[in-house]
Amino acid sequence: MNVKINNLLLLFLATALSLISCDAEKIVYFEDVIGENAANLEFTQTIPIGANSWVADNIDQDGVLISEEGIHNWTSTADVIRTYVRTGAGDLNVGLAIKTSEGGSKFKVTVNGTSKELIITTEDYVDYGIGVFPVEDGYNTIEIEALEKSGTFVGDINSLLLGGPAAADGVVYNPVDNFHFGRRGPSVNIGYQTPEGKDVQYFYNELTVAEGEDVLGSYFMTNGHSQGYFGLQVNTNAERRVLFSIWSAFDTDDPNQIPEDYMVTELGSGEGVTVQNFGNEGSGLQSFKNIGWQTGVTYKFILKGEPSDVEGSTDYTGYFFDPAVGEWEMIASLRRPQTSTYLTGLYSFLENFNPATGNITRQGNYSNQWAYTTDGTWNEVTEATFRVDATAANGDRMDFYGGTEGNGFILKNCGFFNDFTSVGSALTRDSGTQPDVDLDALPQVVVLGPATELDRTGWTVIDYSTQEDQGGEGDTGRAADVLDGDLNTYWHSCWAGCSPTPPHHITIDMGAENLVDGVRFYQRQSTGRSVENLEIQISTDNVNWTSMGDFVLAKTADAQEVDFDTAQTFRYLKFIAKSGHDGTDNAAMAEIIPFTRD
């Protein structure tokens, strides 16, 4: 349905009202500001502006201003909105479904370098014609800037209106029913062609991310397969993980629903690696470590997958080589029941898991792939097929690319570039170099027996740095609460009337010496003030202390186990909380439970 806007009429009414108004501050329409092209525009497309917009150069404001309903809570003239649509070439009619505060606001709208300034005053939503802009075939950026405002809010925008020759053959945009995934951007992947008639036991891959391509929210997944994935993530400005995950064979997004005989279990993990359950996109077990990986460095990955000694299960192990470390490290070895197979469905992908950065391009170079088969030979993998996710396949976004460069495959997405790759394209890279790695020398998995919690009856807390015993946490908050067996109570560092700084500590007297293999921790169940970095010390006399090392806990309510290198006999345990996940000086812990293993 065509929408026709006549701003000349609005100009006349607004000007007439201004002549009789007592409010000298009220902004009205001025034809010389708006420009002659703003009147009598026809629109054939109504675009959900929230699903296709971002706050320029301000990720933190993205979730404040952008929603499924549009652009709202816009209070600062420093925030600039950029909206992206793919059109044909020619003249593009641009309008907005907009309202402003009582005094109105002055806007500058720029489309591919052409700008128009205008003043809009309307306390009710109106379809407002902005002007006609010449555009090229492909993605075009519509930038909306607030130059002045007279009230608290700049304005609210529900829709972008488009028309004219450039929109005549349709417009590519992200629909509101794909708000989350569409704003994340299209995920791209390549499916590798592995040797036919052979069982793949190891898969080798290399990854290089160039400077500037490590955009927040990126997951450069190198060693994917039918049951999981392995690669590098940009999680926050301070955290850059290597991540290795295996899905459960039980189909659910809630890990709490997985039956025991379907649960993925940990066989072992490397130093500093966190292992925990995950959900929301399937469920299973994930392992990760913050390694602070760098751009311009080539990292190497080996995935091993083979039927387990336990009938009906498969063991998967992820190995990682950081040139700065100089040796292969094991991330984790995970056992998946209800499956007995070697590696199948090998692939790599590039995705963005942060919708606030879906307007920024990122790219990875996945190179020198090799498959080691059970006949004891390395087989080079040089052919792959380019594939995409539903956002791309449905035509909601077309900023996706797959190609080759030397002995590597290139994956690129997001950022609204125009050079897209046809889905299903066959890709062939140049030959590389066989991996120089002794598979038998890779770190071996030490299979851990089941943990048996020690009986804590009669144990006491004999020392602590501080505790919240002034009512700030209600009936809990005391150090002794880490021994009460109740996950709903917890120790909390003092905060009501005091301001202690880390490290915090709690010293536990077990009453007698015990043989201990490790310690099980439960974070506060709300995960507020969760401990991230901690140290464990032990003593036989409460005078001389030995450190068991520094450990990292995840921000989760699930049980987390810290194993000592060897079993230790001691009476006194000191828990030292060095820093938390939320970056504050406070810390909390629900339960501290030493255990033995069979």
Render pLDDT for 453-484 as a digit per residue (tens, 0 to 9): 999 999 999 999 999 999 999 999 999 999 99
Closest CA to 264 of 202, 330, 180, 332: 332
One-letter amino acid of 78: A
**Where are the chain's structural domains?**
3-173, 183-441, 451-597
pLDDT at 171: 96
Distance from C-alpha of 236 to C-alpha of 216, rounded to nearest angstrom: 6
Residue 33 has pLDDT above 80, yes or no: no
Q: Where are the beta strands (DSSP E) in 389-490?
A: 400-405, 408-413, 426-428, 451-453, 460-464
- pLDDT tens-digit profile of 513-562? 999 999 999 999 999 999 999 999 999 999 999 999 999 999 999 999 99
Q: Does domain 451-597 have CATH number 3.40.50.10800?
A: no
230-239 average pLDDT score:
95
* 370-398 pLDDT, tens digit each: 999 999 999 999 999 999 999 999 999 99
Q: Which CATH class is domain 183-441?
A: mainly beta
pTM for the model stands at 0.74
Length of the chain: 598
What is the chain's mean pLDDT, rounded?
Answer: 92
Q: For residue 445, give the 3-state DSSP assignment.
A: coil
Handedness of CA 232, 233, 234, 239 (dihedral sign): negative
User: What was the pLDDT predicted at 123?
Assistant: 86
Kind of pairing, strands 591-597 and 408-413?
Answer: unpaired
Query: Quick one: what percent of the chain has pLDDT higher than 90?
Result: 86
Nearest-angstrom CA–CA distance, 45 and 360: 25
* Range 3-173: architecture per CATH: Sandwich (2.60)
Domains 3-173 and 183-441 share a fold: yes
